[in-house]
Amino acid sequence: MSDHHLMSTYARLPVHFSHGEGAWLWDTQGRRYLDALSGIAVCNLGHAHPEITEALCRQAGKLVHCSNLYEIPLQERLAEALCDRSGMERAFFCNSGAEANEALIKLARAHAHRQGNRNPVIVVMEQSFHGRTLATLTATGNRRVQAGFEPLLAGFVRVPFDDLASLEALARDRQDIAAVLVEPIQGEGGVRVPSPGYLNGLRRLCDAQGWLLLYDEVQTGLGRTGRWFGYQHETEARPDAMALAKALGNGVPIGACLARGAAAEAFQPGSHGSTFGGNPLACSAALAVLHVMERDRLVERADAIGDRLLAGFRARLGDREGIREIRGRGLMIGIELDRDAGALVRMGLERGLLVNVTAGNVLRLLPPLVLDEEQEGLLLDGVCALVEDYLAPPAECAS
């Protein structure tokens, strides 16, 4: 086999998986891997979860797709379930994180136009990641994502993340701002957790200025950080609208834009749409995901496992030379090195451990929320050994 017929968008690792179960994956040679990536925060319930499989099979045998030109009761049920948990009022369904953010951006612009702001500007953050479509790569704070795709879109202004003062300065200087778009914890940017009070402060500033507060919860949402939504680590930080995707379907593509108040009323029939968005198959998967998360208390579980892992990593790696910081919330954990960490991915793979490196020097762990006690121990030991061997290679490996 070769990848000559695939466009060269990924530098792929030389392994392919045949099946999985929970936090385990098997390759086609029969080797087993502990998955500490979950398809990048997608398979939060682990692989081949029997109840998701059953929901999909049952729905696939009845009705996979039906146009949004008709009523879709499963979509209405899912919207209600998500609104109940998030404090939002209405949902729009799409198929990916980038699309969910596109919906946020269009929603903010539509809302601004209705208020007479004909050239609305959205504030975005340095080191942010919002997706690969033209609007979302413009919003992304990473030149490598943007380079070669200019011209970028107008209507965005960038400030440093976790810095309320620069936003306050912007508020004094400009009259055209409609919204602030931020990840509650930056994922691709290196698992950057903002200072306590940052999101509350954003909420207060947005209220004072009449700006919408928009969260990209594509990675942080749905239990990943030990709360249903990442913003719920703070008390007064509820947004006007938020984007969800990744974990919503446990691997079945589905995204959502949720909103409340005036933002929830900004779209009218014809404003926005999606052929596949919220089809019965994807909605049945997402409803099963929410059901299992609730019944098995996976949000609390992510919180507890995450606390133990973070404490374990800090105790065993915190004082090592070469470690800059160990941070995270719930099962979104970053170990920042003082050097490039890219090689850890292949080293981990060779040891049967699937990890990720982002922002060049941050080892990122996003294990499934269903991790059991044994797997938790294997993950802690495996990651510590991996990092230790990388920082101080055993003599026979040094060259």
Instruction: Give the footprint of ligand PLP on this chain (CB under 6 A).
Output: 96-98, 101, 129-131, 183, 187-188, 216, 218-219, 245-246
Q: Could you say which of 92, 129, 161, 267 is catalytic? A: 129
CB of residue 374 to ligand PLP, shortest distance in Å: 29
Instruction: Give the residue ranges of DSSP H helices in 87-142.
Output: 97-114, 134-139
- If the CB atoms of residues 108 and 317 are measured against ligand PLP, the closer one turns out to be 108
CB of residue 137 to ligand PLP, shortest distance in Å: 10
CB of residue 65 to ligand PLP, shortest distance in Å: 19
- If the CB atoms of residues 20 and 187 are measured against ligand PLP, the closer one turns out to be 187
- If the CB atoms of residues 363 and 386 are measured against ligand PLP, the closer one turns out to be 363
Q: Rounded to whole angstroms, how far apart are CA atoms 135 and 329?
A: 29
Residues 6+ apart with CB under 8 A from 217: 183, 184, 229, 230, 231, 242, 243, 244
Closest CA to 96 of 244, 216, 242, 214: 244
CB 355 within 8 A of CB 313: no
Residues 6+ apart with CB under 8 A from 376: 305, 308, 309
Give, to the nearest 10 degrees, the angle between helix 280-295 and helix 298-317: 70
Q: Is 135 helix (H, G, I), strand (E, B) or coil?
A: helix
CB 111 within 8 A of CB 144: no
Q: Could you say which of 93, 162, 229, 246 is catalytic? A: 246
Whether 84 is a known active-site residue: answer: no
Q: Mark residue 113 as left, alpha or beta (left: phi above 0; alpha: psi -120 to 50; beta: remaining).
A: alpha
CB of residue 387 to ligand PLP, shortest distance in Å: 23
Q: Rounded to whole angstroms, how far apart are CA atoms 164 and 187?
A: 20
CB of residue 181 to ligand PLP, shortest distance in Å: 10
Whether 276 is a known active-site residue: answer: no
- If the CB atoms of residues 100 and 387 are measured against ligand PLP, the closer one turns out to be 100
Q: Could you tell me which residues are beta bridge partners of residue 125?
A: 159
Phi, psi (deg, nearest 5) at residue 380? -60, -50
CB-facing half-sphere around the CA of 7: CA atoms within 13 A: 1
CB of residue 5 to ligand PLP, shortest distance in Å: 22
- If the CB atoms of residues 130 and 192 are measured against ligand PLP, the closer one turns out to be 130
- Residue showing the smallest CB distance to ligand PLP in the complex: 97
Whether 246 is a known active-site residue: answer: yes
- If the CB atoms of residues 46 and 97 are measured against ligand PLP, the closer one turns out to be 97
Dmax over CA atoms of the chain, in Å, equals: 69
Catalytic residue ranges? 129, 216, 246
